[in-house]
DNA sequence: GTGAATTAGGTATGTACCGTACGTAACTCC
DNA sequence: GGAGTTACGTACGGTACATACCTAATTCAC
């Protein structure tokens, strides 16, 4: 149903165009905007005065020390502080909340471990989240009403239409709509909730090199991917695209090693996740008589950190484990390459802490495959990717609802 | 760089909206269009008279036998015959050309085997293509100038920006720009050329159920896929997305059977292609003492057709081969499911001629995987998919260049 | 058969937007 | 201090769409 409209619509289009230009620079002037937008200065001025009344634009005093001659232009500035968005990441390890203004600049952040009694009831986790949210608002001296949108990322299967968590094996307490309800009541706004890897992908895409297609692979205990095609996240028919952990490469191969606490692990993540990495590390340490490493790897909760540190220290047993785990992982990257031919593959999650050594090893294995390997990068945001992606999602929502004209054609 | 424009732009938007509405129905009236577009009747009338002068709209006599009372409206009709597009498929087996009007209706088609002396020089194939093109034009009594755009699909690796064929192992004669140059000179228009599987995917998407995401798997001697995400074909960074044939599932598995003439086959297509199917069929026929089938399978050029016929006839040896080949193929479908979670997976190519039996067998294997299997369908267009996709691509080009307003925001 | 009701087409008027033009303001350079 | 340059503000003209009103054509009821 393409729908067209009258002159009022044209005005909205032009105002939105002016605003978009304005948002890309620190400050500028009406004549400059007119040149960039292809509009007359008057049309720009009209739009600017509308935007000024809406609180989105501030008029600044003219700058006197212009190099060229002529009357100095009145400067205008996008008022990024006119509104704010909230982004949160809730995982078994951390509750992270960030507050950003309309330009995406983070003005306050909070990072706290989740309450230990999480399994008692989801209300505890939800309260910890809203507490953190109130804390960042206080920190930035922003009223609750100044939050225009909020998004949350959690590890689990999410229905993105409703924001309900269908299944979250690592934190059963957040199943259902506890989190969006709690944060919704706290902010008075509708809250978006999505899978953490998907939001992390949005975050990496935002701060990455502007790739049109990209795959972020979260490499940890579990393995999951976010698929970006044509500059946008691809969710899949059941919001389950990028479920790399369940890739089954091993038709005729023997059953892969499995970790200990992994009833729900898929074939690929059981074979390549941090559980398998620790098993490989123990084996290599035993073979090489590295008793120090072997002892340290006995503690399950720190085994991945131990092994990653051993890799960066150059311990031979750890490097041997890395060699094997990257050989396996390269098979998954190869499948991604064959199907999607992405512009870049970004590796994130706990394994990414191994650093460039990881990519070097991966690249060596990929070169043995028959297809040209995709460019590899390490996650730029690390732990922050989920919050950044949540902020980006909220900013997108705000831009589409409050900073844009209605779409021309449906 | 968002650019806005004046009232003239608004007019173009509205005219395009009217035209889009008009193209969805047989014929309609100005008041009806006004209601649908949300415009006044006058605005619609102005747009219609512009479109009439451009030859895109025809005014019909009012229909007298209206059911309700009132003055009968003048009817208007989209003149689909105002322009035509040409779509072609060039393969070692056939040269197919179709001519469609602006509504996508095929008004003439031609289907011929390619010249046998193909390897002597590409000019022979190119001339066969232009001959076929002139034939469909004569058949439909259309002047060459009435062709607004043309597209060609070929089996091979193509640079979609230039339309040059980089590598076509099955028909080396078409390497380079011979085909687009020949058809370009014949039609006087720029010609688009792309990989045949990618265009077939566009065709299936067009005539399919309007899925937002879809994967078409061409299953023949080679295996390739077309990936549709968000309603559009995904090409990949090097135009190599969907290269399912090079999927390597078999890290620790023994090297798969390979056909005889397959220096360039990837691991997956060597294991699941029609070559492997024939090998499985021979083995099964030998085991079961089906000498008739064994004899027939000795002829390489008809072995796939023989085996497909045996499958539809219910021959036990053929069904056993089908069972094994679908078991293997299901691994690839599983990888597609895990990474992309498509709304539907369409199976095309020579293997699709096995019919619903193929899908039934595939589904049984997919149910054993841990992820919910995607819906499976057989190709609706079969051999015609490439030509249909080429026509659709040309229609898209025409719509974006001649039937649409300039985009609002860049 | 004739008139009321209904709906479409055509023309005039009003409103809104953009662009051009012109006068005024402010600043720099000589 | 004047010339040159650039920005701002207002006025005017062009174009598009919406509304209003009149005429035309057809159906239905009596």
> Per-residue DSSP letters for B252-288?
SSPPPP--SS-TT--HHHHHHSHHHHHHHHHHHHHHH
**Nearest protein residue, CA measured to C1' of D18:** B40
d(CA B41, C1' D14) / Å: 22
Query: Is residue B307 within 8 Å of B297, Cβ to Cβ?
Result: yes
> From B225, which residue of chain A is nearest by alpha-carbon distance?
A339
Closest in B17, B235, B369 to A409, CB measured: B17
CB-strand contact A70/D, under 7 Å: yes
Three-class SS state of B216: strand
Q: Please give the pLDDT value at position B80.
A: 94
* Residues contacting A42, CB < 8 A, separation 6+: none
d(CA A72, C1' D5) / Å: 10
Say if residue A253's pLDDT is above 60: no
Say if residue A117's pLDDT is above 90: no
Q: Do A339 and B343 touch (CB under 8 A)?
A: no
Q: Do A237 and B213 touch (CB under 8 A)?
A: yes
Query: Is residue B214 within 8 Å of B234, Cβ to Cβ?
Result: no
Q: Do B338 and A234 touch (CB under 8 A)?
A: no
Say if residue A1's pLDDT is above 70: no
Smallest Cα–Cα separation from A106: which of A307, A407, A384, A352? A384
Smallest Cα–Cα separation from A213: which of B229, B100, B194, B359? B229
CB-strand contact B68/D, under 7 Å: yes
Q: A251: which chain B residues are within 8 Å (Cβ-Cβ)? A: 249-250, 253, 328, 331
Strand D: list positions under 7 Å from protein Cβ.
Answer: 3-11, 14-20, 24-28
Q: Please give the pLDDT value at position A210.
A: 86
Q: Report the topology of domain A83-202+386-400.
A: Nucleotidyltransferase; domain 5 (3.30.420)
Q: Rounded to 5 degrees, what are φ and ψ at B12?
A: -65, -40
Smallest Cα–Cα separation from B366: which of B391, B390, B338, B395? B338
pLDDT digits (tens, 9 = 90+) for A276-325: 999 999 999 999 999 999 999 999 889 999 999 999 999 999 999 999 99
The minimum CA-CA distance between A172 and chain B, rounded to whole Å, is 21
What number is the average pLDDT over the span A18-42?
A: 89
CB-strand contact B71/D, under 7 Å: yes
Distances (CA, A) of B64 to A27, A382, B61, B71, B72: 64, 71, 9, 9, 6
In percent, how much of chain A has pLDDT > 90?
69
Lookup: tokens for B89: 């498929």
Say if residue A406's pLDDT is above 60: no
Residue B63: count of CB within 10 angstroms of its CB: 12
Q: Do A331 and B234 touch (CB under 8 A)?
A: no
Three-class SS state of B40: coil
Q: CATH top-level class for A10-78? A: mainly alpha
Query: Among chain A residues 77 through 96, which have CB within 7 angstroms of nucleic chain D?
Result: none
The sign of the torsion formed by the CA atoms of A161, A167, A168, A171 equals positive
Closest nt by CA–C1' to A63: C27
What number is the average pLDDT over the span A259-263?
A: 51
Cα R_g (chain B), whole angstroms: 25
A355 — alpha (psi -120 to 50), left (phi > 0) or beta? Answer: left
Query: Is residue A126 within 8 Å of A178, Cβ to Cβ?
Result: yes
Q: Please give the pLDDT value at position A2.
A: 54
Tabulate helix, strand, coil % of chain A (nearest 5): 50, 20, 30
A28-29 and A75-78 strand pairing: antiparallel
The minimum CA-CA distance between B10 and chain A, rounded to whole Å, is 7
Q: Do domains B83-202+386-400 and B209-379 have the same CATH topology?
A: yes
CATH code of A209-379, in short, is: 3.30.420.40
Place of tokens 């009439």: B52
Q: Do A340 and B213 touch (CB under 8 A)?
A: no
Query: Is residue A192 within 8 Å of A163, Cβ to Cβ?
Result: yes
Q: A241: which chain B residues are within 8 Å (Cβ-Cβ)? A: 339-341
Smallest Cα–Cα separation from B229: which of B194, B205, B261? B205
User: pLDDT averaged over consecutive 10-residue blocks of chain B (410 residues)?
Assistant: 70 87 88 87 89 89 66 88 97 95 97 74 86 97 96 93 89 90 94 97 94 97 96 94 88 47 77 95 95 94 95 96 96 97 97 97 95 96 96 95 56
Q: Please give the pLDDT value at position B122.
A: 75
Mutate to test the interface with B, among A339, A368, A405 (most CBs of B within 10 A): A339
Could you state, in order of their start, the residue ranges of all structural domains in chain A? 10-78, 83-202+386-400, 209-379
Q: Please give the pLDDT value at position B209.
A: 84
Which has more pLDDT, A74 or B291? B291
């Amino acid at each position: 149903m393409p729908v067209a409209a009258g002159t009022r619509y044209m005005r909205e289009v032009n105002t939105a165009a002016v605003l978009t230009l304005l948002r890309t620079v620190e400050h500028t002037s009406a004549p400059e905007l007119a040149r960039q937008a292809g509009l007359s200065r008057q049309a720009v001025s009209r739009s600017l005065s509308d935007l000024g009344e809406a609180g989105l634009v501030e008029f600044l005093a003219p700058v006197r020390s212009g190099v060229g001659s002529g009357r100095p232009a009145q400067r205008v500035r996008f008022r990024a502080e006119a509104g704010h968005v909230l982004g949160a990441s809730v995982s078994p390890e951390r509750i992270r909340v960030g507050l950003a203004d309309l330009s995406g600049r983070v003005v306050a952040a909070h990072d706290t471990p989740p309450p230990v009694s999480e399994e008692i009831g989801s209300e505890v986790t939800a309260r910890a989240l809203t507490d953190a949210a109130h804390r960042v608002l206080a920190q930035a001296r922003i009223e609750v009403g100044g939050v225009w949108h909020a998004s949350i990322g959690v590890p689990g299967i999410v229905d993105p239409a409703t924001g309900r968590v269908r299944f979250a094996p690592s934190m059963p307490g957040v199943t259902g709509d506890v989190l969006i309800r709690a944060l919704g009541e706290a902010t008075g706004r509708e809250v978006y909730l999505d899978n953490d890897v998907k939001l992390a992908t949005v975050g990496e895409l935002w701060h990455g090199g502007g790739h049109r297609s990209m795959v972020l692979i979260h490499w940890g205990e579990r393995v999951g991917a976010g698929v970006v095609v044509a500059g946008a996240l691809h969710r899949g028919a059941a919001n389950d695209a990028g479920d790399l952990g369940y890739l089954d490469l091993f038709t005729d191969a023997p059953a892969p090693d499995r970790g200990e606490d992994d009833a729900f692990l898929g074939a690929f993540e059981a074979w390549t996740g941090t559980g398998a990495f620790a098993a490989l590390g123990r084996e290599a340490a035993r073979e090489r008589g590295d008793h120090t490493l072997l002892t340290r790897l006995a503690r399950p909760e720190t085994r991945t950190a131990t092994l990653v540190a051993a890799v960066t220290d150059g311990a031979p047993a750890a490097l041997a484990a890395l060699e094997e785990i990257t050989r396996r992982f390269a098979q998954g990257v190869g499948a991604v390459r064959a199907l999607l031919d992405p512009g870049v593959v970004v590796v994130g999650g706990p394994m990414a802490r191994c650093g460039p050594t990881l990519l070097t090893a991966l690249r060596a294995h990929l070169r043995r495959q028959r297809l040209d390997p995709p460019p590899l990068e390490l996650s730029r945001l690390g732990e922050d990717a989920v919050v950044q992606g949540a902020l980006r999602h909220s900013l997108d929502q705000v831009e589409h609802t409050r900073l844009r004209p209605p779409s021309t054609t449906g």
